[in-house]
Amino acid sequence: MLKDKVAVITGGAQGIGKAIAIRFAQEGAKIAIIDLKDSAKTENEIRNIGGEMISFIADVADEISVKNAFNAIIEKWEKIDILVNNAGIYPLENFIDISIEKFKRVFDTNVIGTFICSQYVANIFISKSIKGTILNIASAGGIRPDKYHSHYGASKAAIISLTKAMAKELINNKIRVNAIAPGAINTEGSKNPGLFENSGKLPDKFMEEQMKKFSPLTKSGMGEPIDVAEMALYLVSDKAKYITGAIIQVDGGRLLF
Ligand SMILES: NC(=O)c1ccc[n+]([C@@H]2O[C@H](COP(=O)([O-])OP(=O)(O)OC[C@H]3O[C@@H](n4cnc5c(N)ncnc54)[C@H](O)[C@@H]3O)[C@@H](O)[C@H]2O)c1
């Protein structure tokens, strides 16, 4: 489905981003990952299936690092067709206690990072007349915020709005922009979303109680990264050629209740 396409995936060293990278590689895409962490695990799996991958250790919120990475990708493969803005953080904190610095830190990665990567790649698409596509990983929490996640819910609501605004502005260039809003997905990050450093304690059994509320569709109540990756593949492929500005929930029905 993605033969000869070049896909950039942020936060692809683990979790949802890793599953997306592997699924796209299985369909023939060349993969570039931008992550704060080393992406060796993803790279090994992609090489094992005969795929091609390069990676950059960089912060998506750092404009210079992002530009350097995109320039290196263009130098190697001469184009980019797909951007998946997946890098994100979601530490828990009470609204009443969270500092401005911590609130901003979440916005830097989740919103500013998405903005920087998207603006840069959209300019590449336009200058090279590429009918490219951008996929943002938002969250069900951006539609209905959860407790102790005011900062996170607000950042993902911003992603949802940005997705629609970009879709509207870029439609005449035949650039499609969509978002997935996952519910609880079983990843390294969600197993231990943690608190910010020096934060107070959340109520006992908070996570346990949250998990029970997730979804009756699976034993654990959670979805798997592949559930998001399959939707990501569809949305960036030509099968979704008439879809832009859409926010697709992959949440096991979580928002119904
Ligand atoms: N797991 C869930 O339940 C869930 C639910 C809804 C939305 N999401 C969203 O899906 C995305 C991926 O989540 P996950 O559970 O796989 O997370 P994860 O913590 O397992 O992996 C996230 C990856 O992003 C990287 N990253 C973090 N900040 C970065 C930065 N500033 N620059 C570059 N890379 C950075 C991390 O190093 C890590 O490899 C996030 O945007 C998250 O908000 C996750």
Q: Whats the size of the chain, residue-wise?
A: 257
Domain of residue 224: give its range: 6-252
182 lines ligand 1 (CB under 6 A): yes
Query: Does 150 reside within a domain?
Result: yes
Chain centre distance of CA 118: 12
Mutate which of 8, 9, 10, 36 to test ligand 1's pocket (most atoms within 8 Å of Cβ)? Answer: 36
120 is catalytic: no
The answer to the question of residue 91 being in a domain is: yes
State residue 205's pLDDT score.
73
pLDDT band at 211 (very low <50, low <70, confident <90, very high): low
Residue 1 lies in a domain: no
Q: Quick one: how many helices (H) and strands (E) in the chain?
A: 9, 7
- The answer to whether position 106 is within a domain reads yes
| Rounded-to-integer distance, Cα 54 and Cα 174, Å | 27
Q: pTM for the complete prediction?
A: 0.97
Q: Cα–Cα distance between 207 and 213 in angstroms, integer?
A: 10
Provide the domain count of the chain: 1
Ligand 1 contacts CB of residue 221 (under 6 A):
no
- Is residue 118 in some structural domain? yes
Average pLDDT over residues 151-157: 98
- Between the CA of 193 and the centroid of ligand 1 the distance, in Å, is 10
Cβ of 20 closer than 6 Å to ligand 1, yes or no, is no
CATH number for the domain spanning 147: value is: 3.40.50.720
Q: If you compute the radius of gyration of the chain from its CA atoms, what whole number of angstroms results?
A: 18
